[in-house]
Structure 1
Amino acid sequence: MAVTKLHEDDDYVIVNKPYDMFINSNDESEKNTVACRIASHDSHLSTSVNPLHFVQRLDYSTSGVLCIAKNKKAAARVGRLFEKRLTRKYYMAVLRRHPPFEVADIKYAIGVDPSEEGAHRMRAVRAASPTCPARAAHTRVLTLESGTYCGEPASVVLLKPITGRSHQLRVHCMTIGHTILGDYTYSNRADTAPHRMFLHATRLVLPFQSNTLDIQTEEPFFADEQFASKWESEKVFFKYRSREDFVSVCDVIDENRIDGLRYQEFCFQE
């Protein structure tokens, strides 16, 4: 699949990463990487003539907006934005079943799952321990549309990670009982029918001092005939399929509007 460039300047290249593609790899024989599609095979290495700096990560199965710096100074600049949580990231996902809320905050800490020896799998953790260190994590969710996929209940949601932990969105959705459609790992290897995992980084806002980069992809799922032919809509809570409507729902989740909406908070009780 092609890697589409959404923005490029002297410091950054921002692309639309396809699903089921690595960002980079130390294995020179691995060609299914973003690095290979937009630069030389060794572009992610410091020894490269023109190294790329991957300042954020997207899982192999996740598609969407990915920011890459072209030099160390630019990498440090955008890295500070991520570190200080000044960036704004918005993901679209399709969840199994219909959530009992329209807007929610998920506040489960996340740590490595010790039961999955040798596998990079995370889990929600009540309290950190020497055998299972964990970091606080917070995701905000807004339900956009409910319907069915292949006749089974499913929902389209907007996800905004307030923090940025490994597998955060996938773990949080699984923990509240609504795994992401096609998520093989967090469905205990059961959700194998869909052709992809339906998680897409749709918009990234980088508020630099001199200018703000606001990068957005087209709506990712309904343009895919394999998905659209299997989806039956039941209720649209918010319009979101056009670029303008998507910005509007981002405003809703940014402002944490809950008036008149069914709200739920998920956290471990003390």
Structure 2
Amino acid sequence: MRLQVAPEQAGERLDALLAEPLGSRSRAARLIEAGAVTVDGAAVAKRHKVAAGEVVEVDDGADAPPAPEDVGATVDFAVPYEDEHLLVVDKPAGLVVHPGKGNRTGTLAQALAGVAAGGEDGWRAGIVHRLDRDTSGLLVVAKSEEAHRRLKAALQRREVTRQYTALVEGVPPARSGTVDAPIGRDRRVRTRMSTDTDEGRHAVTHFELEQVLGQGGARFALLRVKLETGRTHQIRVHLQAIGHPVAGDPEYGTAGLLGLERQFLHAARLAFAHPFTGAPVDVESALPADLRRALEEAEGGPDRRR
């Protein structure tokens, strides 16, 4: 979709301008955040005030689900916990959680069609929270509208423990710490998230040092990381912001480090009270083979445990 801003539309916020042609302001905001909207060829924030004559282009199919016959590829994943209300999925690296721009087929949401349910968007039914494509590990998926509502509410109340294992470049100066810094689109590189932003949203990440490793002068730290909020790329952005990017991270760190083809980040534990029974659900996931190999590579030098 392509439109030119009329003189009477000048000064409107971009998301408000697109609300009517896209069906809702929330959908407009999602497409803007996904990078599917440009103004005069550049990605801008949803709060951008449009000017007369500017050309707005929208990939208005970026959030649309593919036709069922186009879903295609078989998706492999493990299910370490399941009952009548929900399931916990152990997602491998490389698997996209739901369809989006550039990833229309072969997603987890599509593989769970007919099983997962709940949420406003049918094309990602049941998805309560997500993981980046190249982050492996655990996420919870609802099987009904009520289960989705209750799990979302628990997540917002910070009653869901999401614990990650991350190997980072260098060693933090403290055995534990908290990064409390808003995250939004980077001021200069709009495809990246950053703490250097004009549109930051509250974000808090906690970490604890598990192990210090060395390799011929290079030093790494194995961290246990917990999310208090859930912003896009939050762990990766926060650790990069304190000078300790996730090992192998192609966007925020050093690609290919320790032979990695992705960031060393794994959602290792997911714990919460069952939304219907209140019984504890506590699931753990072991490091996948590629991360174990990278850890062995990092252990090539002297190490010490704390």
TM-score (ref. length: structure 2) = 0.65
Partner of 2:214: 148
Tell whether 2:130 aligns with 1:57: yes
Q: Which has the higher contact order (CA 8 A, sep 6+)?
A: 1
Tell whether 2:271 aligns with 1:205: yes
* Paired residue secondary structure (1:89): strand
Distance 1:40 1:134, change over 3 A: same
Partner of 2:85: 11
The answer to whether the 8 A contact 2:85-2:144 is kept is: yes
* Paired residue secondary structure (2:293): helix
CA drift at 1:92? 0.5
CA drift at 1:195? 2.1
TM-score (ref. length: structure 1) = 0.73
Cα RMSD, aligned residues only:
3.0
Partner of 2:297: 230
Distance 1:18 1:172, change over 3 A: same
Residues 18-58 of structure 1, C-alpha deviation per residue, up to 9 Å, x if partnerless? 1122012158984442234454799899668xx73101011
Residues 175-201 of structure 1, C-alpha deviation per residue, up to 9 Å, x if partnerless? 0000001111112xx423422211111
CA drift at 1:71? 1.4
The answer to whether the 8 A contact 2:117-2:145 is kept is: no
* Paired residue secondary structure (1:230): helix
Partner of 1:191: 255
Higher strand share: 1
Residues 47-86 of structure 1, C-alpha deviation per residue, up to 9 Å, x if partnerless? 68xx731010111111110111111111001011011111
Q: How many residues align?
A: 225
Partner of 1:214: 282
1:74 corresponds, among 147, 157, 165, to 147
Gaps of 5+ in 1: 238-270
- The 5 Å alignment of 1:1-270 reads 2-25=76-99, 30-39=104-113, 52-117=125-190, 119=191, 121-125=192-196, 132-148=198-214, 152-187=218-253, 190-193=254-257, 194-208=260-274, 210-218=278-286, 220=287, 224=291, 226-232=293-299, 234-237=303-306
Gaps of 5+ in 2: 1-74
CA drift at 1:167? 1.5
CA drift at 1:225? 5.3
What amino acid is aligned across from residue 95 of structure 1 in structure 2?
A: V
What amino acid is aligned across from residue 165 of structure 2 in structure 1?
A: M
What amino acid is aligned across from residue 217 of structure 1 in structure 2?
A: S
What amino acid is aligned across from residue 195 of structure 2 in structure 1?
A: A
The answer to whether the 8 A contact 1:93-1:180 is kept is: yes
What amino acid is aligned across from residue 231 of structure 1 in structure 2?
A: A
